[in-house]
A and B are shown apart, each in its own frame.
Chain A
Amino acid sequence: MAFSSEDLSTMDSIIKRYPRSRSAIMPLLHFVQAKAGYVTNEGIEVIAQLLDLEAAEVTAVSTFYTQYKPTPVGEYHVGVCTNTLCAIMGGDAIFASLKDHLGIGNDEVTADGKVSLEHIECNAACDYAPVVMANWEFYDNQTVESAKELVDSMRAGNPKPPTRGPSRLVTYKEASAVLAGLNDGLAHEGVQAGEPTLLGLKLSKEGK
């Protein structure tokens, strides 16, 4: 795919956020993923040109960070936390069952291109363990069954909404645009906090 003049002007506005242009590499890589679904060679070249760098310099940055994907992921990229706490509380079982259920391994995509799977590290939601992320939106307190239902809903084209997030699950490309700093107008959707987040506050109001 080629980058349109509108894309290039968006990229220019991303660069202008920073006092020094090179700082824009990361949001620009997120933006390339928003357009192409992964980090394409063309995207690397365009970033290099815009920032007056060698393509190798941009590639060096891209390959350091696990969220920049060298090959296409699914429309819905599912991450299962298998860091210690989630793993022990059920994350290992969820990840194993999803691999089996989808017939794919870690970092692989279903043949229909709908779902990709990755085991991820701690996602800062340990009080909601076991945690599954999809396009980096929270799916809290998962079980083997709920995780299977989630990926089934994705393959059926009607993904369940996140637990703490917008009322619909955005696609991987759409989520990447948010990570590039673009506004999709969904910030007001979803809860302000889940129950565990509010537990201490609730107890203190009860005088405990």
Chain B
Amino acid sequence: MTKLAPVLSAHWDEKDSFTLEGYKRHGGYKAAEKALKMDPDAVIQLVKDSGLRGRGGAGFPTGMKWGFIPQGDNKDHYLVVNADESEPGTCKDMPLLMANPHVLIEGCIIACHAIRAKHAFIYIRGEVTHVARRMNQAIADAYAAGILGNGIDVVLHVGAGAYICGEETALLDSLEGFRGQPRLRPPFPAIAGLYARPTVVNNVESIASVPAIVMNGAEWYQSMGTEKSKGTTLYSLSGHVVNPGQFEAPLGITLREILDLAGGVRPGHKLKFWTPGGSSTPLFTDAHLDVPLDYEGVAAAGSMLGTKALQIFDETTCVVRAVLRWTEFYKHESCGKCTPCREGTWWLVQILRDLEEGKGTEADLAKLLDLCDNILGRSFCALGDGATSPITSSIKYFRDEYIAHVTNGSCPFDPVASTLFVGAGA
């Protein structure tokens, strides 16, 4: 019996899966037709009953988020889809939109109906020309077919290379035409979001999951997954594995099971560390192969399910180098609004760089942890928190490796050994 359960990805292997015709062949836009005949509150209740939780990282119940939108307030409401997929390791939404942009449009129609919004904006990262092209074409085709434009409008908004805009309030500032910097909450977007109007911000995968729920019912969705983590989701496996890729499975599958499907870690090597949900989620090791990959299971083991971005690193990888590179990323992407994150990530890089080059001391480890303590929870958004995750978790599991850099006076690893083309003459 297969452990996989393709729902979102069920028809991606058809060459025209991204076209309106390809989408309609499998009942595309039937769910929107059905939902539009339902009372909006009934749609919200259906999504609540399904147990669908946000797939962008935080795992907040989607139906509950929709239910926060005040009704009868005579204000414009907005749906904003977060397609700014940028968390290192995360690579599910871009292939989803490349293969099937229409499912997102259909999800937008249903969500707009439920929250009584007339406008949806899809904020997509800027560094993906072909995905933006496909998404825009799909929107144009949906207008031409009369699917959009009858009371619901969808606009694609293309970002320009700022990781922080994946944070929902920074995304809203960016969409309003400002520098993308997070806002203080409350007020939450449900009360004062885009243009200070009630706004739902959802991840691509969350919204794309809605049409199937409307078609097949809450019970069907509930039948998959674990007690508090319902449904199927996309797990993205990358790194030192034989066959990386997308695996859609019910929530609660383990890395051991996914690795089995993927042919395991590359031959002759063994798992050293991995991220369960992108670089902002604390690292796991080979001791965590059987952790159920659902919201509760991963949290109980000390990390977060995040975006289900399973980045696999084998024993050739220097964990200090890996963590330094992520930290450089956070430093570069810190928007600069909050001092602990802006200054703190800068200092983290300086100390980690010294350590990786063998110029650090053992006292630097305590300093790193102290800095992390002063960043975590002290800024408007979670970017700084995320920056501390790889550092604190790697020191927890691999303190000896940091110390080896200090005693060696240099990095004990050969970077060539961890490349994919080692031995290939490159």
Contact = CB atoms under 8 A, between A and B. Distances in A.
Contact of A204 (B5, B133, B309, B332): B5
B130 A88 contact: no
B284 interface: no
Contacts of B175: 23
Nearest to B318: A88
Name, among B10, B90, B91, the residue most crowded by chain A CB atoms within 10 Å (CB to CB).
B91
Nearest to B314: A88
A145 B416 CA distance: 15
A83 B88 contact: yes
Contacts, number: 274
Given A93-B419, A143-B424, A204-B2, A184 B261 contact: no
Given A61-B177, A165-B129, A127 B161 contact: no
B276 to A, nearest CB: 14
Contacts of B348: none
A17 B134 CA distance: 18
Interface in A118-163: 120-130, 133, 135-138, 143-145, 162
A67 interface: yes
A66 B161 contact: yes
Contact of A183 (B17, B125, B136, B246): B136
B12 A193 contact: yes
Interface residues of A, number: 82
Contacts of A208: 2-4, 261
Given A164-B130, A179-B158, A201-B248, 5 more contacts: A85-B88, A85-B238, A88-B321, A89-B420, A192-B18
Interface of B: 2-6, 9-10, 12-19, 76, 85-91, 93-95, 98-99, 119, 125-130, 132-134, 136-138, 140, 155-163, 174-180, 195, 235-240, 243-249, 261-262, 279, 309, 311, 313, 317, 321-322, 325-326, 329, 332-333, 335, 415-416, 418-421, 424, 426
Interface of A: 17-20, 22-27, 29-30, 51, 60-61, 64-68, 79, 82-85, 87-90, 92-93, 120-130, 133, 135-138, 143-145, 162, 164-166, 170, 175, 178-181, 183-184, 186-188, 190-204, 207-208
